[in-house]
Structure 1
Amino acid sequence: MHFLYTFLFSLAVPFILLRLYWRGFKASDYRHRWTERLGFYQGAAQTSVLWFHAVSVGEVEAVAPLVRHFLEQPSPTKILLTTTTPTGSARVTALFEGGVEHVYLPYDLPVVVSRFLKHFQPKIAVIVETEIWPNLYAGCGKNNIPLVIINGRLSESSVAGYRKIRSLVKKTLSNVSVIATQTEQDSARFQEIGAATDKVQTVGNIKFDLTVSEIVLLEGELLKEVVFANRFVFLAASTHNGEEEILLKIYQRVKKQHPNLLLVLVPRHPERFQAVTALSKKYNLNTIMRSSGQLCDQSTDVYVADTMGELRMIYAGADIAFIGGSLVPHGGQNALESAVVGTPILLGPYMMNFREITQGLLAVDGAIQCSDEAEVEDQLCRLIDDAEKRQEMVKQAKHFVTKNQGALALITTLVTGLLSSKGER
């Protein structure tokens, strides 16, 4: 099975590169740094780096506090943070400003993995959430590199897929030292696909341990007062294709009742900034982009935030936030940033990828989930008119986040222990 997997993956690589080239028409960064994906790197070989892998922006944000912990040690080690996407790469740069090294994750072929491990010689591998790569994991096992999966989670659909190749997955997971999962259900699912029971432990979700600095909150207040000119701000955060059109229609109808309403759109993918702006203008809405530097005044209808790394600040400048990816069958996005910042949360029906967080917020009335376009409109109008309800939602959401914190400390202890077992401190 392992040989067949490697053979099929090697056949797929040319098509994967072709897809990157094609995506480069909309986002040019996909055409850069291909050599890293193939295991070729500039500069001298490294030794004994602490290696973290985070697929994209959300995972980078989640693991950032753990990375900072090791950067702040009296004798800090070299840290490598790999991602799969260019947006993840950009977030690494924004958060750490050269304090860590970044390369793209190598493709899962033995020769490529071998070059990667030989160049960086990691003393530990920390994989965020669920990235199961047979050759990469086998390479870590062969080189006696402790490998830990943190914030592990598995959806029902993922389990169904892995179950079909259980023998390969079981062999792959035998190279893992510890799997630290978000929930008991995730632990059970990892065991179902072949993980050894004694290697799986439930520690919680590190995304609850996010913090927002006072500077970001202050910048949000200034954004509200100066840039948004004290408009009532309805933020649609991390939206996906198909959602903006629905939200623009909702905005047009609601603004007839609430003329001071401003819609702020933050598309999930940077390559869609221009298209979303053009779509808004097609609805005859006065639309500006943040990068243009144009003044947002009382005549502005839609403000497209086409910049990276400012979402928390924008949450802090909003009055109500709608979580994108939930009006279309994408699975939603993380609502915890809005909860921590203190912005009332509206959700669409499709929050499958964040089921536990969503259920928890709904259970304490820290968010409102809407079944369709009409209900989003109705709940938006209700919240605009009910400041007391908004304040209570914020209070409950913050309490929910605080109650569920603590995973970061447990994972920090876990990783430190694995390093100590190799004679590192």
Structure 2
Amino acid sequence: MKTPPPDGHAAWPSVMARAYLGFTLRTTKWTITGDRRAVPVLIQAEPLETKGAIVAFWHRSLLLLPALWTWAQQRQTGLRLRVMISRNRDGRLINDAVAPWGIIGIEGSSAKKGKDKGGARALREACSALRDGSILAITPDGPRGPVGVVQPGALGLTRLAKRPLIPIGAACTALHLPSWDRMMVPLPFGRGELVYGAPLDAHTSTDHLTRALNQTSAQAARRYKLSRVTFTDRVWHLVGILLTPVLPIILQKRLEQGREIKGRISERYGRTTLDRPDGDLFWLHAASVGECRSVLPLIDALREIHPKLNFLVTTATVTGAEIIATYRTSLPSAQAAQLRHQFIPYDVARWNQRFLRHWQPNALVLIDSELWPGLIGACFRKAIPVGVVNGRLSARSWRRWKRLPASFRMLFARLDFVAARGHRDAEHFSELGVSEVHEYGDLKEIAPPPAADPQEVEYLRQQIGNRPIFLAASTHPGEEEIVARAAALAREAVPDLLMIVAPRHPTRSDAVAEILQHPPRRSKDETPQAEDLFWLADTLGEMGLFYRLAQGAFIGNSMNAPGGGHNPFEPVRLKTPIVTGPRTDNFSPAFESLGDTVAIVKDDRDLADWMIGTFQHNDKAQQQAETACKRISKNEAVPASLLTRISDMLL
């Protein structure tokens, strides 16, 4: 029971402590997170086999208990909290200080020098409170220490009451009293982190409880350190403010170019017309076409494990949105209702906050290299775990990040995990500060090939006839000239050659058309005639069509510096022979896995020779394409270890 102070004078310290603690906890910005298995126990949610639970934290964190209790009561009214306190003046002072939050103390300590300190009575009262469904808070190393050493009574109570125990770690902006445990006294207008661990049962050992408390305390301290607003955060926030007047102009230009959808511009500002679904929501961000295709098998696999899970997929491009929309229409109505698409807002602090406030995702997974400092920081401060799947960080990008000050690299420390594509990517992420890095391979290997309308494929084959067709896919500035020269050289040996040129960004189509001397254009529904050497494929979302028409393909962004390459798995899945330039750093693990099944050319003459050889020795080229397809066909499913790690995020 709460013991009143012995006289009026003694009440003043409690009143002052109570006022200070209330003001400080209200002005502190708290983040409370941890293992989601603990939440039903902490808030005594239905269904639980038995009511009542124990929360344990080191004695130095005792004054932070009201923050956790306020969080729990906001989620479940009617909770009752009791706290074990020592039977002395300090214990009574703390008891009176926390009483306004409905926290009732149970006084008692172990006997000292044969003097009864009320320990046996306190134990009986604690067990009774637990059986009545109360939450009981204990400090396993209190009231006299040693610091961080679990005393026998804590686990004795757990075994006697047969109730689960939740370890709690805490860190905040605080000063430390000159006491035996340097108790934390929170300071006003600061930040605080509380981390709850997985529930422990009555058979927990002393060592296990000690490790659990140290682990949650370390997690809280790490989160507190990483949640501070750095110089880089301020710079990025300022950049967002300065760009805010410019971004609508950029959006209008993108809209005119067909790169935005008129009715959905508001999504770029974090607004939406869609409701958040009830239940858990898993957010995946896949920037464009390749990332969207690689994320579809992941969604399918997660749905098998978590059939009630809702998915939010954001993209940066219209073509990515179209892939998600097509995928959604292929699902049964119940599953389609669990999938929503939005365009990712620009990385402006106010717009990120608006987006997160509405959607409240349980976790976020970024695909490939979509690392936005503002977004990751906003998620971290809201305790939304962020992982990266298919993590890609080229040597060039890694060197750039290494040259930046340490505060810029805090972005990587805020990531919960990275599933890297390959060994070199994993090393790069680790060296930049990611605490947990795995190598789960490249999801693009198991992604379905780009789709195409079979009737359209057949129609174009009839229009083009039996001409040999070569595709220059995803070309970048400077490569169309190389492709044009190579086509002219190859045409000397292959007179009826047709070269399809598909620039990576169709907005460049006018410039590319000038280079190719104004060929027929797909965007104008023009088909090539017998005399045409080139056909400009300047539409979005039709690469599956062009790959199916071609007998060979060049993968762009690989000839000129800096290059980087593009995903080769799409044509490989369609068994199209492929060739690339030497600059493929961004996709080096993919090209290494394909080995000698992919040819590498250095200039227009090399490319022309490869084209001629492909058409003259088509059987050999097709055999290499079959071999390439077999190499990636070994990996047909999302790795089980990756699914487990993502499920841990959702927990």
TM bin (shorter chain): 0.7 to 0.9
Paired position in structure 2 for 1:343: 576
CA 1:70–1:360 in structure 2 vs 1: closer, same or farther (change >3 Å)? Answer: closer
Name the CA distance, whole Å, in 2 between partners of 1:299 and 1:171. Answer: 58
Matching residue's letter, 2:624: M
Note the 1:281-292 alignment, pairs <5 A.
Answer: 281-282=517-518, 287-292=519-524
- The answer to whether the aligner puts 1:232 opposite 2:232 as a matched pair is no
Name the CA distance, whole Å, in 1 between partners of 2:452 and 2:641. Answer: 27
- The answer to whether the aligner puts 1:357 opposite 2:593 as a matched pair is no
Greater CA drift, 315-324 or 24-33: 24-33
Matching residue's letter, 1:42: T
Query: Does the Cα contact within 8 Å between 1:209 and 1:408 map onto a contact in 2?
Result: no
Paired position in structure 2 for 1:188: 427
> What displacement does 1:167 show?
3.1
Paired position in structure 2 for 1:92: 324
Matching residue's letter, 1:89: A
Paired position in structure 2 for 1:128: 367
Name the CA distance, whole Å, in 2 between partners of 1:305 and 1:398. Answer: 25
Q: Deviations over 1:7-27 (max 9, x none)?
A: 233223434444444455544
Matching residue's letter, 1:256: E
Matching residue's letter, 1:79: F
Query: Does the Cα contact within 8 Å between 1:204 and 1:407 map onto a contact in 2?
Result: no
Matching residue's letter, 1:222: E
Identity of aligned residues (%): 29
Note the 1:266-281 alignment, pairs <5 A.
Answer: 266-281=502-517
Paired position in structure 2 for 1:265: 501
Note the 1:175-254 alignment, pairs <5 A.
Answer: 175-196=414-435, 199-212=436-449, 222=458, 225-254=461-490
Q: Deviations over 1:249-295 (max 9, x none)?
A: 3222322321221111222112233443444334xxxx323344445
Q: Deviations over 1:5-48 (max 9, x none)?
A: 32233223434444444455544628774432222222445554
Greater CA drift, 218-227 or 256-265: 218-227
Greater CA drift, 65-74 or 238-247: 65-74
CA 1:223–1:146 in structure 2 vs 1: closer, same or farther (change >3 Å)? Answer: farther
Matching residue's letter, 1:182: R
TM-score between the two structures when normalised by the length of structure 2: 0.58
Match of 1:78 among 299, 305, 310: 310
Match of 1:298 among 510, 530, 550: 530
Q: Deviations over 1:159-184 (max 9, x none)?
A: 22222445335533344322111112
Name the CA distance, whole Å, in 1 between partners of 2:381 and 2:258. Answer: 37
Greater CA drift, 121-130 or 29-38: 29-38
Name the CA distance, whole Å, in 2 between partners of 1:212 and 1:54. Answer: 16
CA 1:233–1:119 in structure 2 vs 1: closer, same or farther (change >3 Å)? Answer: same
Name the CA distance, whole Å, in 2 between partners of 1:96 and 1:244. Answer: 36
CA 1:278–1:95 in structure 2 vs 1: closer, same or farther (change >3 Å)? Answer: farther
Query: Does the Cα contact within 8 Å between 2:412 and 2:429 map onto a contact in 1?
Result: no
Q: Deviations over 1:116-140 (max 9, x none)?
A: 1111111221111123333322332
Paired position in structure 1 for 2:631: 400
Name the CA distance, whole Å, in 2 between partners of 1:305 and 1:244. Answer: 12
Name the CA distance, whole Å, in 1 between partners of 2:642 and 2:539. Answer: 32
Name the CA distance, whole Å, in 2 between partners of 1:408 and 1:221. Answer: 34
Query: Does the Cα contact within 8 Å between 1:137 and 1:173 map onto a contact in 2?
Result: no
SS of equivalent to 1:41: coil
Matching residue's letter, 2:384: I
CA 1:381–1:5 in structure 2 vs 1: closer, same or farther (change >3 Å)? Answer: same
| Unmatched 5+ stretches in structure 1 | none
Greater CA drift, 154-163 or 71-80: 71-80
Greater CA drift, 335-344 or 95-104: 95-104
CA 1:295–1:55 in structure 2 vs 1: closer, same or farther (change >3 Å)? Answer: closer
Matching residue's letter, 2:556: G
Matching residue's letter, 1:388: D
SS of equivalent to 2:260: helix
Greater CA drift, 351-360 or 218-227: 218-227
Greater CA drift, 204-213 or 159-168: 159-168
Match of 2:554 among 312, 318, 322: 322
Query: Does the Cα contact within 8 Å between 1:9 and 1:109 map onto a contact in 2?
Result: yes
Query: Does the Cα contact within 8 Å between 1:316 and 1:342 map onto a contact in 2?
Result: no
Match of 2:599 among 365, 368, 373: 368
TM-score between the two structures when normalised by the length of structure 1: 0.86
Paired position in structure 1 for 2:397: 158
Query: Does the Cα contact within 8 Å between 1:21 and 1:31 map onto a contact in 2?
Result: no
CA 1:312–1:4 in structure 2 vs 1: closer, same or farther (change >3 Å)? Answer: same
| Unmatched 5+ stretches in structure 2 | 1-230, 331-335
Q: Deviations over 1:345-391 (max 9, x none)?
A: 11122222112222332x3x211100111111122112221123202
Query: Does the Cα contact within 8 Å between 1:27 and 1:270 map onto a contact in 2?
Result: no
> What displacement does 1:115 show?
1.1
CA 1:382–1:43 in structure 2 vs 1: closer, same or farther (change >3 Å)? Answer: closer
Name the CA distance, whole Å, in 1 between partners of 2:408 and 2:642. Answer: 24
- The answer to whether the aligner puts 1:148 opposite 2:148 as a matched pair is no
CA 1:31–1:43 in structure 2 vs 1: closer, same or farther (change >3 Å)? Answer: closer
SS of equivalent to 2:499: strand
Matching residue's letter, 2:350: V
Paired position in structure 1 for 2:567: 334
Paired position in structure 1 for 2:240: 9
Query: Does the Cα contact within 8 Å between 1:6 and 1:109 map onto a contact in 2?
Result: yes
SS of equivalent to 2:321: helix
SS of equivalent to 1:180: strand
Name the CA distance, whole Å, in 1 between partners of 2:534 and 2:448. Answer: 29
Name the CA distance, whole Å, in 1 between partners of 2:547 and 2:267. Answer: 35
Query: Does the Cα contact within 8 Å between 2:281 and 2:310 map onto a contact in 1?
Result: yes
> What displacement does 1:343 show?
1.0
CA 1:339–1:45 in structure 2 vs 1: closer, same or farther (change >3 Å)? Answer: closer
SS of equivalent to 2:370: coil
CA 1:18–1:121 in structure 2 vs 1: closer, same or farther (change >3 Å)? Answer: same
Name the CA distance, whole Å, in 2 between partners of 1:94 and 1:267. Answer: 23
Name the CA distance, whole Å, in 1 between partners of 2:259 and 2:389. Answer: 31
Greater CA drift, 294-303 or 338-347: 294-303
Name the CA distance, whole Å, in 1 between partners of 2:368 and 2:455. Answer: 31
Paired position in structure 2 for 1:382: 613
Match of 1:51 among 283, 289, 296: 283
> What is the count of residue pairs matched by the alignment?
411
